[in-house]
Amino acid sequence: MKKLLLKGKFSLLMYFILPLFLWFGYKEVQGMFVYPQAVLVLGGSTKNLEREKFTADFAKKHPNIPVWITGGSPPNSTKEVFVKAGVDPKRINLDYEAVDTVTNFTTIVDEFHSRGIKSVYLITSDFHMRRACVIGEIVLGSRGIDFKAVSVPSGIAPEPVEKSIRDGARAIIWLATGYTGAENYQNQR
């Protein structure tokens, strides 16, 4: 009887774990064959414009895809970084609707979808990448958009996992209701 119970628990566990492993394996293999059609930069770097400078160099290496920067540094400073790097300013799309990491994604995802963009490079600081990936999987994934994460080195320790959990939950709520919770967050500042 004990063996039967153990076998039943193992089978039940395999029904849940195996599909997860298969899904993650599929996503890894798919990522090897899908080439991003745009660059998405999560704004909000420091006054030194690390993310913008990194992205300008990245854009030079990928000259045929447009760049979207959501939130972040003032437009003139941002454009100047790209012009100094020799990147055509017509490739740069600045979006200042976002007020936080969740809205970095929710304010731009429908534009990507309407343009037929199926894959993007996601650029943000390394300490911020875990949270960005959680939100990106939910928000971009809801429109069938894949991403390849590209980290900007910072030397800063990763954010606490609680931020990823909180913002992942906010992204799921946005999927269900269209509400990001950013309004409450701004009012608490």
Residue 62 neighbours by CB distance under 10 Å: 15
Percent of the chain past pLDDT 70, that is, above it, reads: 80
Residues 6+ apart with CB under 8 A from 20: none
pLDDT at 7: 57
Please indicate, yes or no, if residue 5 is contained in any of the structural domains.
Answer: no
Please indicate, yes or no, if residue 1 is contained in any of the structural domains.
Answer: no
Please indicate, yes or no, if residue 8 is contained in any of the structural domains.
Answer: no
Say yes or no to pLDDT of 58 above 50.
Answer: yes
Please indicate, yes or no, if residue 132 is contained in any of the structural domains.
Answer: yes
Rg (CA), the chain: 19
- CATH value at residue 41: 3.40.50.620
pLDDT at 171: 96
Lowest-pLDDT choice from 15-24, 88-97, 134-143: 15-24
Say yes or no to pLDDT of 189 above 60.
Answer: no
109-162 pLDDT tens trace? 999 999 999 999 999 999 999 999 999 999 999 999 999 999 999 989 999 999
Say yes or no to pLDDT of 74 above 80.
Answer: yes
| Whole-prediction pTM | 0.81
Domains in the chain, number = 1
Please indicate, yes or no, if residue 18 is contained in any of the structural domains.
Answer: no
**For all residues of the chain together, what is the average pLDDT?**
86
Please indicate, yes or no, if residue 75 is contained in any of the structural domains.
Answer: yes
Please indicate, yes or no, if residue 14 is contained in any of the structural domains.
Answer: no
Please indicate, yes or no, if residue 26 is contained in any of the structural domains.
Answer: no
pLDDT at 5: 43
Domain that holds residue 92: 33-188
Kindly write down the DSSP assignment for every residue of the chain, as one continuous string.
-HHHHHHHHHHHHHHHHHHHHHHHHHHHHHHHHPPPSEEEEE----TT-HHHHHHHHHHHHSTTS-EEEES-S-HHHHHHHHHHTT--GGGEEEE----SHHHHHHTTHHHHHHTT--EEEEEEEGGGHHHHHHHHHHHTGGGT-EEEEEEEP--PPPPPHHHHHHHHHHHHHHHHHS--SHHHHHHH-
